[in-house]
Amino acid sequence: MELHGYRPRRGSPATVVVVIAVHAAALTALALAKMDMPIKQIIPPLKTKFVLEEVTPPENPPEKIEPKIELPQTPVVDRIVDVPPVDRIIYPPLPERPLPGPVDEGVGKATIIPTPMPAPTPDPVRVDARMDRGSVLQPPYPPSAERQGIEGRVQVRLTIGADGRVKAVERIAAPSDSLFEATQRHALRAWRFRPATVDGRAVESSLVMTVIFQIRG
């Protein structure tokens, strides 16, 4: 709304600056006046309270460590022993060996005596076994071999004991089993020998015998 006959006045910048300066001066004076006034400080009384704090001892008290005292080491001194002087042993010089020279044959006569040789040990005297004269040499002819016309020589090795009896019969050669078996049975049953001897002592021995089987017609 605009009033007729009234026109607002505009202040100049210089007027505004003057007003601000006046206000600032008033505020400064007021502050300085308050600084000159004594300030009363009120300190409340102190209250002291003692509190006892319980101290719990440690479970494992520290071990008391004894101070280690090092003893001074005694220096080792070598013991000096006086040894009496020993007289030097002087051995007499050995006699000089004469150099070998020509051998003097002399005029004597040396006789050499031969060392007798030991007598040789004689060999043992051995005697072979021999058939006793009272023994029947020829065994009976086997009937089966005779019917078949079997002939020939039977050769056996006998083991003769020290008592002269035949202990074993070993086959060497035979034309048939029947002729060997007949010879074996007859030797064990009927043959007797004079045993072999060594230096006159009867010993066991072996002997090869031959029996001839021949059919007589």
At position 62, the amino acid (one-letter code) is: P
16 lies in some domain: no
99 lies in some domain: no
pLDDT per residue rounded down to tens, the chain (217 residues): 444 444 445 545 445 444 555 556 666 666 555 555 554 555 566 555 655 556 566 666 566 666 666 666 666 656 665 656 656 666 677 777 766 666 555 565 666 677 777 778 888 899 999 999 888 889 999 999 999 999 999 999 999 999 999 999 999 999 999 999 999 999 999 999 999 999 999 999 999 999 999 998 6
208 lies in some domain: yes
CB atoms within 10 A of CB 204: 13
120 lies in some domain: no
155 lies in some domain: yes
* CB within 8 Å of 167: residues ≥ 6 apart: 159, 160, 161, 204
90 lies in some domain: no
pTM across the whole model = 0.45
Cα separation, 68 vs 36, in Å, equals 74
105-144 pLDDT tens trace: 556 566 667 777 777 888 889 999 999 988 888 999 999 9
Helix (H/G/I), strand (E/B), else coil: 93:
coil
> CA angle, 7 as apex, 2 and 10 as ends, to 5°?
125
Cα separation, 21 vs 7, in Å, equals 28
Beta pairing partners, 203? 196
At position 51, the amino acid (one-letter code) is: V
121 lies in some domain: no
The CATH number for 131's domain is 3.30.2420.10
- Identify the domain containing residue 182 by its residue range: 126-213
Number of domains in the chain: 1
Q: Buried b vs exposed e over 166-178: b needs ≥16 C-beta within 10 Å?
A: beebeeeebebeb
The Cα-based distances of 67 to 9, 64, 70 in angstroms read: 104, 9, 9
Cα separation, 207 vs 130, in Å, equals 9
